[in-house]
């Protein structure tokens, strides 16, 4: 939570408290790696993760091992090591399969959400686990959007992309068409600059870098 809020000092204090109670355990090392990655030190994060994903340190919680593989996947993706990133994602799904715990996947952030959505159809026998994870992510994001909008709980049951605005969802649904952004703007009766603003906002929220990626992620999350 501290990392998601950019509270570096408090995050460091939390890791220190965990280390004082648990020693150099796999759980603590994963926390240290997450902190190093958030502070822009990928080499340190990879070095710390090596002991966990390599089996030298076994975390007490299975979710910590899942989180380790997800961070490994993210670091590999950022280093343009796509096969390693895919393998790490599959290992995360494999680790989560026995318990069905999806929280580490949500906590991993939008970049990992996009990577998971892009993995759909390529996870082999882990495809059902991936489907459960993506459904869980969509569900949490939906209720976050419902809560932020002040809608009473229980009034919405299907994934609606509540963290996207209504106008962003309208633009999103036109992206799979062959229309240019200018044509989308004309069809919706809004300016091209407005469409571009909505698209940039959607890309940031979905963790996408291109139109194709945005469509793939949105389909993976059940928004299209």
- pLDDT at residue number 158: 38
Angle at CA of residue 118, ends 113 and 122, nearest 5°: 125
Decide if 140 contacts 108 (C-beta within 8 A): no
Please measure the distance between the N-terminal and C-terminal CA atoms of the chain and give it in whole angstroms.
Answer: 30
Q: Residue holding tokens 């993760």?
A: 49
CB atoms near residue 150 (< 10 Å): 6
The residue among 148 and 117 whose pLDDT is bigger is: 117
How would you class 40 by CB atoms within 10 Å of its CB: exposed for 0-12, middle for 13-18, buried for 19 or more?
exposed
CA–CA separation, 93 and 77 (whole Å) = 17
What's the mean per-residue pLDDT of the chain? Answer: 82
Burial call 80-92: b when 16+ CB within 10 Å, e when fewer: eeeeebbebbbbb
The answer to whether 149 and 139 have CB atoms below 8 angstroms apart is: no
Listed residue (36, 41, 67) closest to 52, CA to CA? 67
pTM of the model: 0.65
From CA 115, how far away is CA 192, in angstroms rounded? 29
Residue (of 55, 57, 91, 56) closest to 71 by Cα position = 91
Task: Give the model confidence (pLDDT) of 47-93 as tens digits.
Answer: 999 999 998 888 888 899 999 999 999 999 999 999 999 999 999 99
Averaged pLDDT, 152-171: 60
| Residues present in the chain in total | 224
- Which has the higher per-residue pLDDT, 92 or 117? 92
pLDDT at residue 163, as a whole number: 65
- 133/6: higher pLDDT: 133
Enumerate long-range contacts of 12-20, CB under 8 Å, 24 or more apart.
Answer: none
In which element (H, E) is residue 147 found? Answer: helix 127-149
Radius of gyration of the chain (CA): 19
Predicted confidence (pLDDT) per residue in 175-186, tens digit: 998 889 999 999
Summarised one tens digit per residue, pLDDT across range 5-58 is 667 778 778 777 877 777 778 888 898 898 889 888 999 999 999 999 998 888
């Amino acid at each position: 939570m501290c990392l998601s809020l950019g509270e570096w000092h408090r995050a460091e204090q939390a890791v220190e408290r965990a280390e004082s109670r648990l020693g150099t355990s796999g759980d603590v090392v994963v926390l240290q790696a997450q902190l190093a990655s958030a502070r822009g030190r990928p080499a340190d994060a990879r070095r710390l993760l090596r002991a966990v994903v390599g089996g030298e340190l076994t975390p007490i919680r299975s979710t910590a091992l899942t989180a380790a593989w997800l961070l490994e996947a993210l670091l590999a993706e950022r280093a343009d090591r796509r096969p390693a990133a895919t393998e790490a994602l599959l290992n995360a799904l494999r680790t989560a399969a026995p318990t069905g715990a999806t929280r580490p996947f949500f906590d991993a952030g939008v970049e990992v959400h996009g990577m998971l959505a892009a993995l759909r159809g390529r996870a082999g026998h882990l495809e059902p686990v991936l489907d459960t994870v993506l459904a869980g992510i969509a569900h949490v994001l939906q209720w976050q959007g419902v809560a932020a909008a002040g809608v009473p709980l229980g009034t919405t049951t299907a994934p609606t992309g509540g963290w996207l605005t209504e106008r962003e969802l309208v633009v999103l649904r036109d992206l799979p068409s062959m229309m240019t952004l200018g044509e989308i703007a004309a069809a919706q009766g809004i300016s091209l600059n407005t469409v571009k603003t909505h698209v940039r906002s959607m890309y940031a929220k979905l963790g996408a870098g291109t139109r194709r990626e945005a469509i793939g992620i949105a389909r993976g999350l059940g928004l299209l």
